[in-house]
């Protein structure tokens, strides 16, 4: 009789403990604002994923890295808030970071156009109760600058041909959390040259540059061009340089920039 009672209590406690948890499916989604044209790099590609899950005390409970699929299944406490960090296309497993370390953690590019596996993306959900299914809407950690050149105010007889477009003071690292500011920069960032800037030499044409988020205003666009008029011209190999200062550049945002050319030398 005593043995049966013990078994019954043990089973009840085990069952109660199990009911504290629920199966949770975390689904990583590509960014909502899909490109409106063919883009290089691929703005939607996901080649690898990281998941970090923190409890209400900021302790890291789970860490996972996977290359197949965009769904992660786990068991979490019911009705308890968590902080979830998801990242894509980093190319490596994130270390076991404390939550405060994760806030400061920076992803580094080896070179400005290191996007062969897809653009770096991340999303941070703080103090959320996941439920049985939770979508994680990724954001690109980069901004896109859509350049256009307006020549309508140039006097007749002046020809300005853009040969290069690049990002100056281009951040080489970015935080997983939003609001990243540049700490270290490439002197010459993402660059388009020659045929890649053909769009800037025709009316309504565009050329797109990519840059990691920078909430400072020290990044700029640099254009190099050949200049020809009745009085002046650039010699072979020489270029005129234009610099366009930019305000803060937020992640996952497209910035249309029109450069209006006017006057003469």
Strand order in the sheet with 207-212: 207-212, 142-153, 254-262
Hey, what long-range contacts does 51-55 have (CB within 8 A, 24 or more apart)? 51/26, 51/84, 51/85, 51/86, 52/84, 52/85, 52/86, 52/94, 52/97, 52/102, 53/82, 53/83, 53/84, 53/85, 54/82, 54/83, 54/84, 54/85, 54/99, 54/102, 55/80, 55/82
Show the domains of the chain with their CATH numbers: 21-140 (2.60.40.2580), 142-262 (2.60.40.3690)
Per-residue pLDDT, 133: 93
- Tokens representing 32 are 């909502």
Tens of pLDDT along the chain (265 residues)? 444 444 444 444 555 556 788 899 999 999 876 555 545 678 999 999 999 999 999 999 999 999 989 999 999 999 999 999 999 999 999 999 999 999 999 999 999 988 888 999 999 999 999 889 999 999 999 999 999 999 999 999 999 999 999 999 999 999 999 999 999 999 889 999 989 999 999 988 899 999 999 999 999 999 999 999 988 889 998 999 999 999 999 999 999 999 999 877 6
The mean of the pLDDT values for the chain is: 89
Q: How far, in Å, CA of 221 to CA of 148, rounded?
A: 12
């Amino acid at each position: 009789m005593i043995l049966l009672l013990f078994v019954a209590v043990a089973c009840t406690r085990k069952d109660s403990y199990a009911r504290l948890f629920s199966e949770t499916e975390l689904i990583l989604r590509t960014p909502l604002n899909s490109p409106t044209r063919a883009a290089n790099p691929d703005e939607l590609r996901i080649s690898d994923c990281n998941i970090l899950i923190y409890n209400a005390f900021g302790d890291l409970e789970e860490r996972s890295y996977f290359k197949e699929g965009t769904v992660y299944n786990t068991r979490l406490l019911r009705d308890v808030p968590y902080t979830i960090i998801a990242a894509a296309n980093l190319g490596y497993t994130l270390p076991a970071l404390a939550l405060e370390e994760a806030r400061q953690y920076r992803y580094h590019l080896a070179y400005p156009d290191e996007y062969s596996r897809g653009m770096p993306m991340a999303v941070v959900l703080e103090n959320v109760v996941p439920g049985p299914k939770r979508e994680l809407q990724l954001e690109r950690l980069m901004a896109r600058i859509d350049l256009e050149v307006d020549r309508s105010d140039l006097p007749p007889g002046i020809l300005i041909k853009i040969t290069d477009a690049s990002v100056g003071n281009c951040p080489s690292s970015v935080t997983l959390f939003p609001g990243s500011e540049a700490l270290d920069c490439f002197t010459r960032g993402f660059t388009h040259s020659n045929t890649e800037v053909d769009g800037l030499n025709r009316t309504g044409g565009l050329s797109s540059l990519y840059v990691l988020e920078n909430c400072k205003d020290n990044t700029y666009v640099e254009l190099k061009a050949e200049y020809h008029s009745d009085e002046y011209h650039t010699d072979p190999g020489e270029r005129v340089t234009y610099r366009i200062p930019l305000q803060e550049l937020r992640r996952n945002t497209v910035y249309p920039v029109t450069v209006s050319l006017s006057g003469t030398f």
